[in-house]
């Protein structure tokens, strides 16, 4: 009897702790979720996938481990350790005085895709990881001279899951020549159907070619023969081709040639860290989310053989990058007006005409900033200005499509975890899935860098992975301050609430409302932040910004600032 009471007490305590550990969070339309930590202190979880075995499959970017998690208990089993496959040391743990400042690749062990028939005769799990660094044996940073870049190599491998032993075994290499970098590796894997047959898709970024330490590295996003800046398509199982390397490449890929097969499915991508497939409007569609440079984070509808513009068109071809470039530096020894291998864009519209009928605009662009503001950003970046302005962007790290009817109003929504501002962005798709029908809605804000998202089959639970570090593994250092829950898998369980039907659109502000919001924004800034914000405004708006900080204004000043309040608020919001 005493043992039974002790057991009951223990179970009560356990479930009481679990309930106490949950936090209720509310969405912008009244949705209520219970937040719970499934597991924490992972070594930079990169991918979290909800498998057909009802387990969460997780990769650790720096730890080079693959784990299966029980989403209910949090119990974790390491099914593969790839650290011995990494042919370079943990530069992120070695002092620069010892290794010369060699870089860690952006990511490391990155994408994972579980075959949808894992339990039905196809026990396949696909992985992508950086395994080689060309500069490992070189002195100093190991980078190419004249800002020529950091050259890593990525391997794409298929493993078989042994359910009895709970391990991944029998690796088969699909491709081990995919170029990599310390920047813009993208790295997302997905199994998705084309014409009823499953294929493996993999995203490769432009490797940062044109910015920072890769500022002098040529950019190949527009060249079909290169795998840089592409979405690639592979077979999930080898075909009957004679050459082993060709067996993993589908015979109907759009850039195949008679004597050379090519994994490229689409081109002109900058850094597509998100890739998702869903049937929307009775049609299966492949979507990507991509990081923009200074503006225009993109959502693209991926089609075979199509060109998405980078680095000749940034975001939609609306001309805001005319005369500008996808990057800028102060290195005068690099080519062009903006000192970068990124081309100067004379006209986005003219570049679209050169690309031709294969060009595709994004179906949605986050923060398509004005040409005037972007000119200020690039000019001050080139000059190494002390008060170089910041800019609005989300840095979308992943993408999923919510297709369940569980949460009111969410069906057929794109969900984007973000790195820069720690939130989950929801965008309602049009009924046919070819565009976005809503304004952006923000969920689960916090001082974290959300890296990936998985959704339970019933749509009731969302799982978000968070970075272990507060800055990216590449050269960009935008990050939330005071990162909480490092290396976590967070579970958000839908409880109730929400609004059925389309999300309400934002109202257009009156000049008086714009003035109140601009004044509040300006007066809440710290002195250093005020200087930065002011520096990012067009010259004509800078005196108006100063007026917002004055305790009293003359009637003429009041009329002047009120007349220009909408434009001034727009300028402040761009940063």
Locate the DSSP E strands across 410-533: 413-417, 424-428, 441-443, 450-455, 461-466, 489-496
pLDDT (0 to 100) of residue 535: 86
Helix 555-563 and helix 565-573, axial crossing angle in degrees, nearest 10: 60
- The answer to whether 519 touches 565, Cβ cutoff 8 Å, is no
Element (H, E) at 562: helix 555-563
Q: Cα–Cα distance between 434 and 285 in angstroms, integer?
A: 9
Q: Cα–Cα distance between 353 and 357 in angstroms, integer?
A: 8
Residue whose tokens read 């759009």:
254
pLDDT (0 to 100) of residue 471: 55
Instruction: Decide: residue 514, CB within 10 A, 0-12 exposed, 13-18 middle, 19+ buried.
Output: buried
Which residues have C-beta within 8 Å of that of residue 370, sequence separation ≥ 6?
320, 570, 571, 574
- The answer to whether 404 touches 417, Cβ cutoff 8 Å, is no
CA dihedral 451, 456, 462, 463 (to 10 degrees): -40
CA dihedral 135, 136, 137, 141 (to 10 degrees): 60
- The answer to whether 420 touches 291, Cβ cutoff 8 Å, is no
Q: Hey, where are the domains in the chain?
A: 511-574
- The answer to whether 252 touches 272, Cβ cutoff 8 Å, is no
Query: Which residue, among 524, 527, 510, has the nearest Cα to 566 in the 3D structure?
Result: 510
pLDDT (0 to 100) of residue 193: 98
- The answer to whether 334 touches 343, Cβ cutoff 8 Å, is no
Full DSSP string of 4-27:
HHHHHHHHHHHHHHHHHH-EEEE-
Which residues have C-beta within 8 Å of that of residue 236, sequence separation ≥ 6?
115, 122, 124, 126, 158, 191, 198, 199, 200
Residues of the chain scoring pLDDT < 70: 1-21, 470-483, 503-506
Q: Cα–Cα distance between 218 and 129 in angstroms, integer?
A: 23
């Amino acid at each position: 009897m005493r043992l039974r009471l002790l057991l009951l007490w223990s179970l009560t305590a356990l479930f009481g702790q679990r309930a106490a550990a949950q936090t209720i969070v509310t969405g912008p339309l009244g949705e209520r979720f219970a937040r719970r930590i499934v597991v924490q202190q992972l070594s930079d979880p990169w991918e979290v996938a909800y498998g057909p075995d009802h387990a969460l499959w997780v990769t650790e970017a720096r730890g080079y481990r693959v784990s299966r998690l029980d989403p209910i208990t949090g119990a974790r089993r390491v099914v593969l350790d790839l650290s011995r496959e990494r042919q370079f040391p943990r530069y992120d743990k070695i002092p620069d005085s010892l290794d010369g400042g060699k870089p860690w690749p952006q990511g490391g062990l990155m994408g994972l895709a579980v075959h949808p028939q894992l339990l039905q005769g196809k026990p396949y799990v696909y992985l992508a990881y950086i395994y080689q660094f060309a500069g490992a044996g070189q002195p100093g940073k190991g980078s190419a001279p004249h800002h020529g870049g950091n050259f890593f190599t990525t391997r794409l491998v298929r493993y078989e899951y042994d359910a009895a032993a709970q391990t991944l075994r029998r690796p088969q290499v699909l491709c081990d020549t995919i170029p990599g970098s310390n920047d813009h590796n993208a790295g997302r894997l997905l199994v998705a159907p084309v014409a009823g047959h499953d294929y493996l898709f993999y995203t490769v970024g432009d490797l940062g070619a044109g910015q920072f330490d890769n500022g002098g590295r040529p950019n190949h996003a527009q060249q079909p023969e290169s795998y840089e800046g592409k979405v690639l398509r592979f077979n999930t199982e080898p075909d009957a081709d004679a050459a082993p390397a060709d067996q993993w490449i589908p015979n109907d890929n759009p850039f195949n040639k008679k004597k050379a097969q090519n994994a490229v499915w689409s081109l002109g991508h900058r850094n597509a860290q998100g890739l998702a497939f869903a049937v929307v409007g009775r049609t299966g569609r492949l979507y990507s989310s991509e990081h923009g440079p200074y503006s225009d984070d993109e959502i693209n509808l991926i089609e075979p053989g199509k060109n998405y513009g980078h680095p000749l068109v940034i975001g939609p071809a609306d001309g805001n990058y005319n005369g500008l470039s996808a990057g800028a530096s102060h290195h005068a020894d690099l080519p062009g007006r903006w000192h970068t291998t990124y081309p100067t864009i004379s006209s986005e519209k003219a570049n679209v005409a050169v690309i031709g009928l294969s060009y595709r605009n994004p179906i949605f662009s986050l923060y398509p900033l004005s040409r005037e503001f972007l000119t200020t950003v690039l000019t001050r970046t080139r000059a190494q200005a002390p008060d170089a302005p910041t800019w609005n962007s989300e840095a979308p790290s992943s993408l999923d499509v919510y297709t369940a009817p569980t949460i009111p109003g969410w069906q057929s929504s794109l969900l984007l975890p973000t790195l820069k501002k720690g939130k989950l962005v929801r965008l309602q798709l049009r009924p046919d899935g070819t565009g976005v029908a809503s304004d952006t809605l923000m969920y689960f804000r916090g001082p974290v860098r959300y890296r990936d998202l998985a959704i339970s089959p019933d749509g009731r639970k969302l799982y978000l992975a968070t970075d272990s570090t507060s800055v990216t593994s590449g050269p960009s250092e935008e990050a939330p301050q005071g990162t909480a829950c490092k290396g976590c898998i967070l579970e958000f369980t839908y409880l109730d609430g929400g609004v059925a039907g389309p999300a309400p659109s934002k109202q257009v502000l009156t000049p008086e409302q714009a003035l109140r919001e601009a004044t509040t924004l300006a007066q809440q800034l710290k002195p250093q932040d005020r200087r930065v914000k002011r520096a990012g405004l067009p010259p004509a708006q800078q005196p108006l910004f100063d007026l917002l900080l004055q305790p009293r204004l003359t009637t003429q000043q009041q009329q002047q600032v009120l007349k220009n309040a909408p434009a001034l608020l727009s300028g402040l919001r761009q940063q």
